Amino acid sequence: MEFLLVTFRSDRDVVIEGEVAGLTNQLITLGPGTYTIWLAPPTDYTPLRRRVVVRDTSPLEPEEVVFV
Residue 10: give the domain boundaries: 2-66
DSSP assignment of the chain: -EEEEEE-SS--EEEETTEEEEETTSEEEE-SEEEEEEEPSP--SSSS-EEEEE-S--SSS-EEEE--
**pLDDT tens-place string over residues 9-68:** 999 999 999 999 999 999 999 999 999 999 999 999 999 999 999 999 999 999 999 999
Q: So what's the pLDDT on residue 53? A: 98
pTM: 0.94
Q: So what's the pLDDT on residue 37? A: 98
Q: Are the CB atoms for 24 and 31 separated by under 8 Å?
A: no
Q: So what's the pLDDT on residue 3? A: 98
Count of domains observed in the chain: 1
Q: So what's the pLDDT on residue 63? A: 98
Q: So what's the pLDDT on residue 28? A: 98
The per-residue b/e assignment along 53-68, b for 16 or more CB within 10 angstroms, e otherwise, is ebeebeeeebbebebe
